């Protein structure tokens, strides 16, 4: 009974989170002494999956775009076809959308926000809880198990396989929801997909000062984010608000500029691996939660950081 992973692509490129899911799925398959199957939508060239441990891929052509119910149903059919009883998904908005529907369909236990490989006998996984203020070891007691892996928690692990590809034509269920419009900035890295996030708070004094934040993000190939007060004041869109009631961030590098570090903000970004804080106030709580800190004026530090990073990037590319 192989492990099954749902591999997401965007513009026919596999998402980094999807390759992480493949890496994680491979490790689970090794633990359970089984093989790894994948289900891929609308992407014929799956050769890259051979580098991340996938043994067999089921390719589905579904031209109508993402629909949580339809996709959940197709993944359920793939799981039945493969007799998979461990299914691994990412933490993307789409995966989180479809996972509960898939879980009900397969009568499976679903645990999201998983940060480590499962233990077996009994089968349990470690996940974050209380908005990153704690971890919870969670046992999955059903026969079929669904794991949602946290972004950047497991990383990419190369493992070469001789990949087999097979077209899969599932029964398509009718949908009760239709997409009218998609607004998506194609030139920007999303917070969910970003390896680096540059975030700023009220210390920036006003929305007109965000150019340097965007420029710093640009140099680092990072996504931009903001604190709750900044989004409440309307300086930046809600979609940039990170923290307990905003978006969670699990990037490799998180740079906080002019953010004091309220407990709700820290809870939302705590899964990020390396945290840098730049703040004029040496007493700001963020200094207790960060790895590197600079006490200084953002208006002086950030422009200098941008220039020096440009030089660094030029020398190291």
Partner 1 sequence: MKILVCISHVPDTTSKINFTNDNTAFDPNGVQFVINPNDEFGLTRAMWFKEKENASVDVVNVGGPETESTLRKALAIGADAAFRINTTPTDGYAVAKELSKVAKDGNYDLIIAGRESIDYNGGMVPGMMAAELGASFVNNCISLEIDGTNATAIREIDGGKETLSSTLPLVIGGQKGLVEESDLKIPNMRGIMMARKKPLMVLEPAQQQTCTSSVKFEKPAPKGAIKMVDADNIDELIDLLHNEAKVI
- State which of positions 166-205 bind partner 1 (CB under 8 A): 176-185, 188-193, 195-196
Tell how strand 253-257 and strand 274-279 pair up: parallel
State yes or no: residue 153 binds partner 1 (CB under 8 A).
no
Residues 33-72, mask of contacts with partner 1 (x by CB under 8 A) = -----------------------------------xx---
Given the complex with partner 1, which of 17 and 46 has the nearer CB atom? 17
Separation between Cα atoms, residue 187 and residue 11, nearest integer Å: 13
H or E element, residue 238: none
Given the complex with partner 1, which of 19 and 36 has the nearer CB atom? 19
Going across the sheet that includes 124-129, the strands are 124-129, 109-114, 145-149, 86-89, 3-7, 36-41, 56-60, 164-167
Taking CB under 8 A as the binding criterion, the range among 18-26, 55-63, 127-135, 199-207 that sits at the site for partner 1 is: 127-135
User: Can you tell me which of 116, 172, 289, 299 binds partner 1, judged by CB under 8 A?
Assistant: 289
- State which of positions 238-257 bind partner 1 (CB under 8 A): 238-239, 241, 244-246, 252-253
Rg (CA), the chain: 21
Q: Tell me, what DSSP letter sits at residue 159?
A: B
Token pair for residue 236? 């930046």
Given the complex with partner 1, which of 195 and 214 has the nearer CB atom? 195
Task: Verify cis geometry, omega within 30 degrees of 0, for the bond prior to 122.
Answer: yes
Smallest separation, CB 55 to partner 1 (Å): 28
Given the complex with partner 1, which of 95 and 165 has the nearer CB atom? 95
State yes or no: residue 9 binds partner 1 (CB under 8 A).
no
Smallest separation, CB 172 to partner 1 (Å): 17
H or E element, residue 110: strand 109-114
Is residue 190 within 8 Å of residue 222, measured between CB atoms? no
**Contacts with partner 1: how many residues (CB under 8 A)?**
93
Q: Tell me, what DSSP letter sits at residue 227?
A: -
Smallest separation, CB 287 to partner 1 (Å): 6
Q: How many CB atoms lie within 10 A of CB 307?
A: 11
- State which of positions 213-242 bind partner 1 (CB under 8 A): 220, 228, 232, 238-239, 241
Separation between Cα atoms, residue 300 and residue 302, nearest integer Å: 6
Taking CB under 8 A as the binding criterion, the range among 20-28, 55-63, 140-148, 162-170 that sits at the site for partner 1 is: 140-148
Given the complex with partner 1, which of 35 and 260 has the nearer CB atom? 260
Q: Tell me, what DSSP letter sits at residue 216?
A: H
- State which of positions 96-125 bind partner 1 (CB under 8 A): 96-101, 103-105, 107-113, 124
């Amino acid at each position: 009974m192989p492990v099954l992973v749902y591999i997401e692509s965007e513009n026919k490129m596999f998402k980094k989170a999807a390759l992480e899911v493949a890496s994680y799925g491979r490790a689970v398959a090794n633990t359970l002494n089984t093989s790894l199957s994948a289900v891929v939508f609308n992407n014929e060239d799956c050769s890259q999956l051979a580098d991340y441990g996938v043994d067999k891929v089921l390719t589905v052509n579904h031209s109508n775009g993402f629909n949580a119910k339809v996709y959940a149903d197709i993944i359920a059919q793939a799981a039945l076809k493969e007799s998979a009883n461990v299914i691994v998904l990412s933490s993307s908005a789409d995966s989180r959308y479809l996972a509960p529907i898939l879980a009900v369909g397969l009568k499976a236990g679903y645990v999201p926000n998983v940060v480590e490989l499962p233990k077996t006998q009994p089968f349990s996984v470690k996940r974050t809880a209380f908005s990153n203020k704690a971890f919870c070891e969670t046992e999955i007691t059903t026969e079929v198990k669904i794991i949602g892996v946290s972004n950047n928690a497991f990383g990419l692990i190369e493992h070469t396989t001789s990949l087999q590809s097979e077209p899969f034509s599932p029964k398509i269920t009718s949908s009760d929801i239709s997409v009218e419009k998609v607004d998506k900035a194609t030139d920007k890295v999303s917070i969910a997909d970003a390896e680096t996030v540059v975030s700023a708070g009220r210390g920036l004094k006003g929305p007109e000062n965000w150019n340097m934040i965007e420029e710093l993000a640009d140099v680092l190939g990072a996504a931009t984010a903001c604190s709750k007060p900044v989004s409440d004041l309307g300086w930046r869109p809600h979609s940039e608000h990170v923290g307990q009631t905003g978006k969670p961030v699990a990037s490799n590098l998180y740079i906080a500029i002019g953010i004091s570090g309220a407990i709700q903000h820290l809870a939302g970004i705590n899964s990020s691996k390396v945290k840098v804080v730049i703040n004029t106030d040496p007493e700001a709580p963020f200094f207790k939660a960060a790895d590197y800190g600079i006490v200084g004026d953002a208006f002086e530090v950030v422009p200098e950081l941008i220039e020096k990073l440009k030089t660094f990037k030029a020398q190291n590319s």
